[in-house]
Structure 1
Amino acid sequence: MKNRIRTREERNAMIRTLTATAAALALTTVPALAELKIGSIVELSGPGAAAGTNFRDGVRMGFEEINADGGVLGEPVAITEYDSQTDPQVSRAMVQKAIDDGVVAITGTVFSSSTVVNMLVAKQAGIPQFTGSEAPSITGMGNPYIFRTAFGSQKGVPKMAKYMAEEMGVKKVAVVWANTEFGKGGHESFLKEAEAHGFEIVADLPTEQAQTDFSADVVKLKGIQADAAFVYLTEEESARFLREARKQGVTLPLVGETTLIGHKVIELAGDAANGAMGHVGLTPDANIPAMTEMVEKFKAKFNYTPDHNAIKGYTAAYTLKCVAEMVGEADSQAIADKMHGLTLTVAECPGVLMDVSWDETGEMSRESFFVEVQDGKQVVKAILPPN
């Protein structure tokens, strides 16, 4: 068969096609810009969704700011989000998936019952994990890859109990607590402090995770002669409890940790949250310029007021950035090694918002606050020193 003689137009069209093909092949051989992969594993559904969404949004905003400022060590940060569904075993699977996806570090989870399970997977893989959980057991298990974004209840509860004894004159206390990994940690910490301060425990009322009806618990509380009640429940449970307490006319001072008087609780409980008081490691209402700026940016971006979980997520992002740049590489082991015994100041790492330290177990230490809810806001009554 004779070759057909092509016209000039046909020859030019063939040249253009071959040129485009060669260019496409060349592009596939050019390496893409490297990305620092972070796994954000939080409670986006289930009973922990309020806390998890706040934490997730804090992480998002932090890394978006970091990327806008050039990333980490000149590389952009890529965040992949995984829903733990507030289920410990699902969270474990999500941590493994994040590791399989090649993450350098993990942020989350928030619920302690999930973290005590999933952190073992991250530990085995040598991946540093920045958790929002507060159960004492988390930093008591000898895991060199776990780091808090807010100190555990074993550090917060002593501050709160000291204030109750010295400033409120409390002698008799009723205790209402969630019978979960999270609740057990706070309960045990409070009983230890109650003994140290000479509190008489006049009632001990355990509840269940995601409990919806607190009417019977409040009835019991009303029949008890006490100076105050220590309430240690999750945000959603606390809101239900406060509404029921208001409905039944409880006048007893209700004192707790962040999960009793956090902004999500205030939003859910409405006026029923007024008068509740307690210790918070972080509050958007603190008169700290860096905190105020972060809160205003968050509100503008997400159209809601961040709670302590959002601040935890935000500071986790900046902690990762600053530590990676201190060691000079986005290496999981180097980051974990540097975190032990580390202090970050606002002067050197503004995104952490407050000067903060971590000990050899990954436990955190910094100033915190005792607040009372007034007119839907946390009013700072005292600044409490690090311990």
Structure 2
Amino acid sequence: MRRNLGACLGAGLAAVLWSGVAQAQIKMGVGAPVTGPDAAFGLQLKNGAEQAVADINASGGILGQKVTLKIGDDAADAKQGRSVANQFVGDGVTFVVGHFNSSVTMPASDAYNEAGVLEITPGSTNPQITERGYPMLFRTCGRDDQQGAVAAAYLVAHAKGKKIAILHDKSTYGKGLADETRKALVAAGVRDVMYEGLNKGEKDFSAIVSKLKSVDADIVFYGGVHTEGGLLVRQMRDQGVKAVLMGGDGIASQEFAAIAGPGVEGTLMTFPPDPRLRPEAAAVVKEFEAKNYNPETYTLYSYAAVQAIKQGIEKAKSTDPVAVAKALHEGGPFNTVVGDLSFDAKGDVTRADYVVYEWRKGPDGKISYVQLDK
């Protein structure tokens, strides 16, 4: 009887241990504005991460473990973003893709850093995010000092003698991008004729448009996202202002054109080379297209963030976020749908590949962004 009881206990213990291994899961979260004015971008982050996790799990997971994914809606609000971060920490999430807005990523990353959670943001570009020295914070996108330099270089080369006004939406991202572009313009000897902030959430920009008229602006550089940017363009055209608007990656959405209307033609924008056209992304793009979804702008940068986490875990041979962060810093390059990525000591990608686009009407009558040669 004792032998049988011991055998039963041994078998029972083995079953429990085996069950624990079989059920082991890697908990991942996506923090993004699923609702609110920036929901178009939040959907991109959500869809990109979900597809990446689905593809990974279909291939056997990571180190034999399946990945579970939680979605946290930060609504582009800093306080809600911190709440999402706290909820993820409480739920045992150890890897996070997000957030999108720089103003949300800043406080959320404080919580992740305190809890030892590894975070990769696909869309927060404010330089200060990675300047704080958080060892487990990364991004698959570039920085606004890089983006602003490209925008300024284009304006210096192509808008000589033009009057440039600079606007921003007072957000961490928008003002940061406007200031970086302004700094680069000043360094090149170009002074703006107007520098103003507008309020996110406002619908009437008549006063701003009137000021643009008064300074006779030829070009309006705008730091902000597509919602206010689209309304600004529409109201500029309605009031007879023909100045060309130039924005950053915050207007890189087809919703920008939908809000702005026909007057959006000629708008300039900085963003990396279209990731949908990369050969590395071809198979994944087909997966999205089969679902009637256009994986524009940050969708593939979110997918790439999950890929980087996977390869970091495999390189570290561990799911410990500290070990994975070390592998991401020291490993590289990591093969992703947006190309090979390596991270520097700050967690920034080592390549800066912003280019300039122009919004144009295609043969089908649809207005979209087209990369310029130079």
- TM bracket (short chain): 0.7 to 0.9
Q: What's the CA shift for 1:324? A: 1.4
1:369 shift after superposition: 2.2
Q: CA deviation at 1:327?
A: 1.7
Q: TM-score, normalised by structure 1?
A: 0.84
Shift of 1:273: 2.5
| Residue matched to 1:246 | 237
- Shift of the alpha carbon at 1:209? 1.9
Q: CA separation of 1:359/1:300 partners in 2, compared to 1, >3 Å: closer, same or farther?
A: same
Give 2:223's aligned residue.
Answer: 232
Which residue does the alignment assign to 1:7?
Answer: none
Residue number in structure 1 paired with 2:173? 182
TM-score normalised to the size of structure 2?
0.87
The Cα of 1:59 is off from its aligned counterpart by 0.9
**Structure ID, larger Rg:** 1
Contact 1:263 1:306 survives alignment (8 Å): no
1:199 aligns with 2:184: no
Residue range with higher mean Cα deviation, 81-90 or 119-128:
81-90
The number of equivalent residue pairs is: 354
Matched, 1:321 2:306: no
Does the CA-based 8 Å contact 1:299-1:305 persist in structure 2?
Answer: yes
Q: Distance in 1 between matches of 2:368 and 2:265?
A: 8
In the alignment, structure 1 residue 157 sits paired with structure 2 residue 148: yes
How far, CA to CA, are the matches of 1:60 and 1:304 in structure 2?
Answer: 13
| CA separation of 1:381 and 1:48: change in aligned 2, threshold 3 A | same
Amino acid aligned to 2:89: I
8 Å CA contact 2:136–2:321 kept in 1: the answer is no
Contact 1:178 1:207 in 2 (8 A): yes
| Separation of aligned partners in 1, 2:198 and 2:328 | 36
Are the structure 2 counterparts of residues 139 and 221 from structure 1 closer, same or farther at C-alpha, using a change threshold of 3 Å?
A: same
- Matching residue of 2:279: 289
SS in 1 for 2:193: strand
Give the Cα–Cα distance (whole angstroms) in 2 for the partners of residues 249 and 186 of structure 1. 27
- SS of 2:174 mapped into structure 1: helix
The aligned counterpart of 1:80 is 70
* The one of 81, 94, 108 aligned to 1:118: 108
Match of 2:328 in 1: 339
* Corresponding residue number in structure 1 for 2:5: none
Question: Given residue 143 of structure 1, which amino acid in structure 2 is its aligned partner?
Answer: Y
| CA distance in 2 between partners of 1:357 and 1:242 (Å) | 37
AA at the equivalent of 1:90: Q
> In the superposition, relative to structure 1, how do residues 270 and 69 fare at CA in structure 2: closer, same or farther (>3 Å)?
farther
Deviates further, 222-231 or 81-90: 222-231
CA change 1:41–1:124 in 2 (3 A) is: same
**Distance in 2 between residues matched to 1:137 and 1:222, nearest whole Å:** 34
With 200-209 and 364-373 compared, the bigger mean Cα shift is at 364-373
Partner Cα separation in structure 2 for residue 164 and residue 341 of structure 1: 37
In structure 1, give the amino acid aligned to 2:229: S
Tell me which amino acid in the other structure corresponds to 1:359: D
Shift of the alpha carbon at 1:371? 0.8
- For residue 108 of structure 2, give the secondary structure of its aligned residue in structure 1: helix
Once residues 336 and 307 of structure 1 are traced to their aligned partners in structure 2, the CA distance between those partners, rounded to angstroms, is 28
Instruction: Report the CA distance between 1:293 and its aligned residue.
Output: 4.5
1:362 aligned residue (347, 353, 357):
347
Structure 1 stretch displaced more, 269-278 or 182-191: 269-278
Contact 1:156/1:281 (<8 A) preserved: no
- Report the AA paired with residue 328 of structure 1: K
Tell which deviates more after alignment, 122-131 or 367-376: 367-376
Deviation at 1:292?
4.9
**Structure 2 equivalent of residue 5 of structure 1:** none
Deviation at 1:205, TM superposition (A): 1.7
Measured in 1, the distance between the counterparts of 2:338 and 2:225 equals 25
Asked if structure 1 preserves the Cα contact closer than 8 Å seen for 2:247 and 2:269, the reply is yes
Per-residue deviation, 1:341: 5.5
Whether the 8 Å CA contact 1:170–1:227 is kept in 2: the answer is no
Q: Would you say the 8 A contact 1:92–1:118 is kept in 2?
A: yes
Matches within 5 A, 1:292-303: 292-301=282-291, 303=292
- Residue 120 of structure 2 corresponds to 130
Name 1:93's counterpart in structure 2.
83
Q: Report how far residue 297 of structure 1 moved.
A: 2.6
* Cα-Cα RMSD: 2.4
Q: CA deviation at 1:174?
A: 0.3
Read off the aligned partner of 1:305 and give its amino acid letter: N
Hey, what does 1:68 align to over in structure 2? 58
> Partner residue of 2:9?
none
Shift of 1:248: 2.4
- 5 Å matches for 1:365-384? 365-375=351-361, 376-382=367-373
Matched, 1:144 2:129: no
Counterpart AA for 2:315: M
Contact 1:115 1:133 in 2 (8 A): yes
> Within 2, Cα distance between the matches of 1:342 and 1:221?
49
C-alpha change, 1:73 and 1:267, in structure 2 (3 Å) is farther
Distance 1:26 1:144 in 2: 38
Match of 1:312? 301
CA contact (8 A) 1:355 1:366 kept: no
Which residue number in structure 1 is paired with residue 203 of structure 2?
212
Deviations 1:61-94 (A, max 9, x none): 1111111122212221110111112221221121
1:273–1:343 CA distance, 2 compared to 1 (3 A) = farther
Residues 175 and 224 in structure 2, CA contact (< 8 A), matched pair in contact too: no
Contact 2:151 2:181 in 1 (8 A): no
Structure 2 residue ranges without an equivalent (≥5): 1-11, 362-366
Take 2:74 and 2:170, find their aligned partners in 1: how far apart are those partners? Answer: 20
